Amino acid sequence: MLRLVLSVVTFHLFASPVVAQARGGGGLPPRDEWQRVPDIIAALGVTEGQRVADIAAGQGYLTKPLANAVGKSGRVYAVEISDDARRALTELAARESLTNVEVVAGTETDPQLPAQVDGAVILNSYHELTDYNAILAAIRRTLRPGGRLVLVDNTNFAGHDSTREGQVRRHAIDPSFVDAELRAAGFEIVDRQDGFIVQPFPQWLIVARRPRSAKVTP
């Protein structure tokens, strides 16, 4: 079964540095120095009192900053498939007194979010989704009109496999694939930064949005 937990993806070209930094090792700069969390939250457009989802939350690296951003009147849905990850998220919320965090048991096809969520983010895990079409459809249904979905993931190195499947095996994905998948799922693309992170390894950012109203066909 797919485990949407960043920390279990090891011994691969792209994932290993990310995992090392999540654990504070690997000889690379601390993750907080390069992951650009404030910019990710800004791209999501989070304001106090909103309800946002941290999909594939892992050990909660992004969950706490999101909880701080929405404030006590807001809500963060930390979504995970893994029982171990959900326990870790529950422990994090208790340890840090994050009373506005709700841990959610997602599935491979549905993050199981409530209706009218203001925003959602998937950090470093989109390439791991086995049924990305179903997940995107579920996210779109639960977002309020105008709600944003922010994706950040590893860039495929030039010269490596040009197929989606080959890139995913290397724990990366070209943003052009994701751009097309988002549009096919009915999202609008608000922003795309192919060079969002350059060092210690390249990552891209895409900001998508559920349209505010359905398009009328003449």
Judge whether 182 lies within some domain.
yes
Does residue 51 belong to any structural domain of this protein? yes
| Ramachandran angles phi, psi of 137, nearest 5° | -65, -40
Residue 54 and residue 79 in contact, taking contact as beta carbons nearer than 8 Å: yes
pLDDT value for 218 = 37
Domain containing 176 equals 6-209
User: What is the pLDDT, as a whole number, of residue 10?
Assistant: 25
Domain count of the chain? 1
The string of DSSP letters for 169-189 reads HTT---HHHHHHHHHHTTPEE
Please state, in angstroms and rounded to a whole number, the distance separating the CA atoms of residues 115 and 197: 32
Q: What does the pLDDT profile of the chain (218 residues) look like in tens digits? A: 333 333 222 223 334 444 444 434 567 799 999 999 999 999 999 999 999 999 999 999 999 999 999 999 999 999 999 999 999 999 999 999 999 999 999 999 999 999 999 999 999 999 999 999 999 999 999 999 999 999 999 998 866 788 999 999 999 999 999 999 999 999 999 999 999 999 998 999 999 999 997 553 33
Residue 29 lies in a domain: yes
> Is 215 among the domain residues?
no
CA distance 88 to 59: 6
Q: What's this model's pTM, rounded to 2 decimal places?
A: 0.86
Q: What is the CATH number for 57?
A: 3.40.50.150
Q: Is residue 216 part of a domain?
A: no
In a domain, 218, yes or no: no
170 lies in some domain: yes
Cα–Cα distance between 137 and 184 in angstroms, integer?
A: 10
State the pLDDT at residue 2. 34
